[in-house]
A and B are shown apart, each in its own frame.
Chain A
Amino acid sequence: MVHFTAEEKAAITSLWGKMNVEEAGGEALGRLLVVYPWTQRFFDNFGNLSSPSAILGNPKVKAHGKKVLTSFGDAIKNMDNLKTTFAKLSELHCDKLHVDPENFRLLGNVLVTVLAILYGKEFTPEVQASWQKMVAGVASALASRYH
């Protein structure tokens, strides 16, 4: 079970408070599909993914990125209880979506990189460490019901 200190929670929630979830979500999912093209295997029905600009401009990518990052918001409200919070989503990703949990780790790291771009100097090593813990906790919670 992941335990967050008060400082870590503060670092996470303060950045979250400033974030444009729609933009950041679209950027993170888009970059996942650009940097790790094999992840496109889950999105055959998304239309044009033929180039980085096509991917980042794709409305389905943006919408889905927003959905995914909005769900992260639940994680942030329930940092001490990630496994319970994501139990249903975990079952969904295993039984219906058939997503290898490695993809959760890849997306988590892409999100961290997007935060670095958005926040620059403010995204200090300490803030990054808090967010790495967050994305690792979410990835682990999403994998917890796999069988």
Chain B
Amino acid sequence: MSLTKTERTIIVSMWAKISTQADTIGTETLERLFLSYPQTKTYFPHFDLHPGSAQLRAHGSKVVAAVGDAAKSIDNIGAALSKLSELHAYILRVDPVNFKLLSHCLLVTLAARFPADFTAEAHAAWDKFLSVVSSVLTEKYR
């Protein structure tokens, strides 16, 4: 699965808008993830997961920054996320099913914050883009 030129344009132009709210988007995405899919909290026993927690904010920032890195290197996501891919494969070992859950929560966050931009085409492009990112992050699992 690879992104068309149109899809790349949509992602890159939306990213420009998103990046100004990156931190709060990250925090909101994680809040949505932990509330809708409580089993995902099992990966964070060492975190304070209360809304507003500093750790949640820091981690949300990290996650969205990585999505931004992928958007900025959209022609070579594999290279841009290579280190993160190794981290997930050898250290974090998050079960692959969870990437879909996180992707969905990020989409919902974007849809709620940018309803006018989140057309059906944008929805499709983002779903595909996050799917590519998830594949890159799990490609070294075995």
Question: Which residues does A use to contact B, with CB under 8 Å?
Answer: 30-31, 34-35, 52, 55-56, 109, 112-114, 116-121, 123, 125-126, 128-129, 132
B25-38 Cβ-contact flags toward A at 8 Å (1 or 0): 00010011001110
* B91 interface contact, C-beta 8 A: no
Option from A56, A116, A125, A132 in Cβ contact (under 8 Å) with B120? A56
Report whether B36 and A129 are in contact in the complex, using a CB–CB cutoff of 8 Å: yes
Residue of B nearest to A120 (CB): B112
Per DSSP, are chain A's interface residues mostly helix, strand or loop, or mixed?
helix
Residue of B nearest to A30 (CB): B120
Option from A55, A116, A126 in Cβ contact (under 8 Å) with B108? A116
A35 and B127 CA atoms in complex are apart in Å by 7
Report whether A129 and B120 are in contact in the complex, using a CB–CB cutoff of 8 Å: no
Q: Give how many A-B residue pairs fall within 8 Å (CB-CB).
A: 59
Q: Which residues of B contact A55 (CB under 8 A)?
A: 120
B5-38 Cβ-contact flags toward A at 8 Å (1 or 0): 0000000000000000000000010011001110
Q: Which residues of A contact B65 (CB under 8 A)?
A: none
Interface size on B, residues (CB 8 A): 21
Min Cβ gap A125→B in Å is 4
Report whether A120 and B113 are in contact in the complex, using a CB–CB cutoff of 8 Å: yes
Option from A109, A114, A128 in Cβ contact (under 8 Å) with B35? A128
A73 and B113 CA atoms in complex are apart in Å by 27
* B107 interface contact, C-beta 8 A: yes
Min Cβ gap A109→B in Å is 6
Report whether B104 and A116 are in contact in the complex, using a CB–CB cutoff of 8 Å: no
Option from A56, A112, A117 in Cβ contact (under 8 Å) with B115? A117
Residue of A nearest to B113 (CB): A120
Report whether A132 and B111 are in contact in the complex, using a CB–CB cutoff of 8 Å: no
Q: Which residues of B contact A52 (CB under 8 A)?
A: 119-121, 124
A91 and B112 CA atoms in complex are apart in Å by 35
Lowest 4 A-B CB distances belong to which pairs? Answer: A116-B111, A129-B35, A116-B112, A132-B36
* B99 interface contact, C-beta 8 A: no
Min Cβ gap A24→B in Å is 13
Report whether A128 and B120 are in contact in the complex, using a CB–CB cutoff of 8 Å: no
Report whether B28 and A117 are in contact in the complex, using a CB–CB cutoff of 8 Å: no
Report whether A128 and B121 are in contact in the complex, using a CB–CB cutoff of 8 Å: no
Min Cβ gap A118→B in Å is 8
Q: Which residues of A contact B37 (CB under 8 A)?
A: 132
Q: Which residues of B contact A118 (CB under 8 A)?
A: 115
Option from B36, B108, B109, B123 in Cβ contact (under 8 Å) with A31? B123
